[in-house]
């Protein structure tokens, strides 16, 4: 059985490599679709406690500042993107604002482009705005010493999608050299997967049913991609960021965390750093969370309600988030059949970023074999195609299986629970006294309005406001439209500002 599984993993990786290497780059006089860049090493300016501000941040970090905060009792240093308050009216706010992203995503979702940036919008409203990148996401790094952040904060050879932007042309020699590099990378990943299996990563014996399901799924995926290749044509250019994937693959043994690590370590470290840096008078923050980010905020309020302690949050906004999805038709229920096989296989990570990059061409181009993926992200005509492409190709990261498996408890009786399966987070929300604005999208297939309400109804009415965006005849809002949709700056953002500025004054 192990041999059979090894074949499928090799086949999938080699096929991804085939797709990557068989896109001809003969036209080197026009825009290159990808470019190997060697960013300058960032220099860290210490700010106490091992954290600090990067004095030379990488160009693709579009924030005003990039900071690092160490996580106690670990080697992780989390990236914090800071957008300094820049209100044209000179509005002064009393509390800094912390933004938390969804599972397996980085800061880019909050800052897609100058005209589609929730983070920049909030900074223009006078809020000192910070985006946290959790461990394993974006520019966060795992290292034993702060000095080594200089070499590890950025992938040394990062393949970036040009996304239609002008870039330097690659000559024939560059193309051949790049192809060889990608081939070596692919082989490295493939061999590594086989070695992991041989070294005992698969601890449970595979039964024939699970092995058959894996083989069948692998073959179906290969057929879909092969058909897409015939329909799209090899001349179409798309790529999978294999350098990023290899870097994360080499760290597979370190991807050993779950939701509670975020809750108990990452978020508290970030909150303490922002409080210390900004010095609000009452020592409190404003916080907004999208998807898993909002789930984390609910969990924080539940934990603190249970322990009868102050959450140190002045107000909270959640976007497409819930602690209990059992009564909804969330599309994420499709993950439940994967729980037992994932546990049996001891799968360490799910390379979400690489997978999204691999399938996106078949969701965005004729014959649209995987077009259903787009509706999971954005409703029709709610996001500019270039923004959607950037979101899909640059916003997603690798996810530890432990994290995903804990999140699936939100689809089981009792809702999301801790790793010990003894503390159910929704059971203590009735003790919350922090003002909450809970927003939902009318066509959010991942977290439908009924799922959001399932959590909202547990909170005392005087401390929560619930609103669904979208109209029967349109426009409609899907999961990411609340953050980066074309109408978000006109409809969603002002609603959020109106709510939190009221509680910023109190």
What single string gives the DSSP state of each residue in 35-47? Answer: EEE-PPPP-EEE-
Q: Is residue 33 part of a domain?
A: no
26: number of Cβ within 10 Å: 8
45 - beta bridge partners?
53
Per residue, the 3-state secondary structure of 276-309, as one string, reads HHHCCCCCCEEEEEECHHHHHHHHHHHHHHHHCC
Q: Is residue 472 part of a domain?
A: yes
Total count of domains within the chain: 1
Q: Is residue 294 part of a domain?
A: yes
Question: Prior bond to 325 cis, omega within 30?
Answer: no
How far, in Å, CA of 178 to CA of 182, rounded? 6
Q: Is residue 149 part of a domain?
A: no
Task: Give the torsion through C-alpha atoms of 168, 26, 161, 244, to 10 deg.
Answer: -110
The residue length of the chain stands at: 506
Which token pair is 140?
């966060």
Contacts of 387 (CB under 8 A, 6+ apart): 112, 113, 116, 484
- The 3-state DSSP class for residue 371 equals coil
How far, in Å, CA of 178 to CA of 173, rounded? 9
Residue 417 is classified by DSSP as: B
Q: Is residue 163 part of a domain?
A: no
CATH number at residue 60: 3.40.50.1820
How far, in Å, CA of 318 to CA of 306, rounded? 20
How far, in Å, CA of 179 to CA of 175, rounded? 6
- The 3-state DSSP class for residue 142 equals strand
Q: What pLDDT does residue 450 have?
A: 96
Q: Is residue 46 part of a domain?
A: no
Q: What pLDDT does residue 338 have?
A: 56
Q: Is residue 186 part of a domain?
A: no
Query: pLDDT in tens for each of the 506 residues of the chain?
Result: 333 333 343 444 443 444 333 443 333 333 333 333 333 445 555 444 567 898 888 888 999 999 999 999 888 999 999 999 998 888 899 999 999 999 999 999 999 998 899 999 999 999 999 999 999 999 998 874 444 554 444 443 343 333 334 334 445 565 555 556 555 554 554 455 445 444 444 444 444 444 444 445 445 444 544 444 444 443 333 344 445 555 555 555 677 899 999 999 999 999 999 999 999 999 999 999 999 999 999 999 999 999 999 999 999 999 999 999 999 889 877 666 555 555 544 566 777 777 777 777 776 766 655 677 788 999 999 999 889 989 988 898 888 888 988 999 999 999 999 999 999 999 999 999 999 999 999 999 999 999 999 999 999 999 999 999 999 999 999 999 999 999 999 999 999 999 999 999 86
Q: Is residue 398 part of a domain?
A: no
Which domain covers residue 103, as residue numbers?
Answer: 53-139+256-330+404-505
pTM assigned to the model: 0.76
Q: What pLDDT does residue 45 have?
A: 52
User: Is the Cβ–Cβ distance between 320 and 479 less than 8 Å?
Assistant: yes
């Amino acid at each position: 059985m192990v041999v059979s599984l090894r074949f499928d993993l090799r086949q999938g990786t080699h096929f991804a490599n085939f797709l990557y290497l068989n896109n001809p780059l003969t036209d080197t006089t026009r825009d290159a679709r990808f470019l190997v860049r060697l960013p300058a090493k960032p220099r860290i300016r210490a700010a106490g406690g091992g954290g600090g501000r990067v004095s030379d941040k990488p160009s693709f970090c579009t924030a005003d500042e990039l900071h690092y905060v160490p996580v106690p009792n670990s080697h992780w240093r989390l990236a914090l993107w800071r957008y300094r308050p820049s209100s044209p009216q000179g509005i002064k706010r009393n509390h800094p604002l912390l933004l938390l992203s969804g599972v397996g995503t980085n800061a880019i979702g909050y800052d897609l482009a100058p005209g589609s940036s929730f983070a920049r919008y909030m900074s223009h409203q006078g809020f000192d705005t910070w985006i946290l990148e959790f461990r394993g996401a974006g520019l966060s790094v795992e290292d034993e010493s702060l000095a080594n952040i200089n070499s590890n904060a950025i992938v040394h050879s990062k393949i970036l999608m040009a996304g239609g932007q002008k870039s330097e042309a690659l000559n024939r020699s560059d193309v051949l050299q790049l192809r060889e590099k990608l081939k070596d990378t692919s082989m490295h990943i493939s061999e590594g997967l086989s070695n992991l299996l041989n070294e005992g990563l698969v601890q449970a014996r595979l039964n024939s049913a699970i092995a058959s399901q894996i083989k069948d799924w692998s073959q179906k995926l290969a057929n879909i991609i092969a058909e897409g290749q015939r329909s799209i044509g090899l001349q179409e250019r798309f790529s999978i960021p294999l350098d990023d994937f290899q870097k994360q693959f080499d760290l597979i043994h370190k991807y050993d965390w779950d939701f509670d690590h975020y809750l108990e370590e990452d978020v508290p470290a970030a909150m303490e750093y922002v409080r210390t840096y900004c010095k609000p008078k009452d020592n409190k923050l404003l916080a907004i969370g999208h998807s898993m980010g909002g789930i984390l905020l609910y969990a924080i309020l539940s934990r603190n309600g249970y322990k009868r302690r102050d959450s140190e949050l002045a107000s909270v906004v959640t976007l497409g988030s819930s602690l209990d999805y059992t009564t909804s038709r969330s599309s994420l229920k499709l993950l439940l059949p994967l729980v037992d096989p994932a546990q049996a296989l001891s799968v360490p990570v799910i390379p979400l970023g690489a997978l999204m990059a691999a399938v996106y061409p078949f969701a965005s181009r004729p014959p649209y074999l995987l077009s259903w993926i787009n509706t999971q992200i954005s409703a029709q005509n709610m996001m500019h195609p270039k923004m959607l492409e950037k979101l899909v190709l640059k916003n997603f990261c690798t996810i530890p299986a432990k994290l995903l498996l804990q999140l699936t408890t939100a689809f089981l009786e009792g809702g999301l629970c801790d790793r010990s399966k003894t503390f159910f987070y929704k059971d203590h929300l009735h003790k919350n006294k922090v003002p909450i604005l809970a927003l939902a999208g009318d066509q959010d297939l991942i977290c439908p309005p009924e799922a959001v309400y399932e959590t909202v109804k547990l909170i005392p009415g005087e401390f929560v406001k619930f609103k669904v965006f979208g109209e029967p005849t349109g426009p409609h809002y899907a999961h990411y439209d609340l953050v980066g949709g074309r109408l978000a700056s006109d409809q969603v953002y002002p609603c959020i500002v109106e709510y939190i500025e009221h509680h910023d004054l109190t």
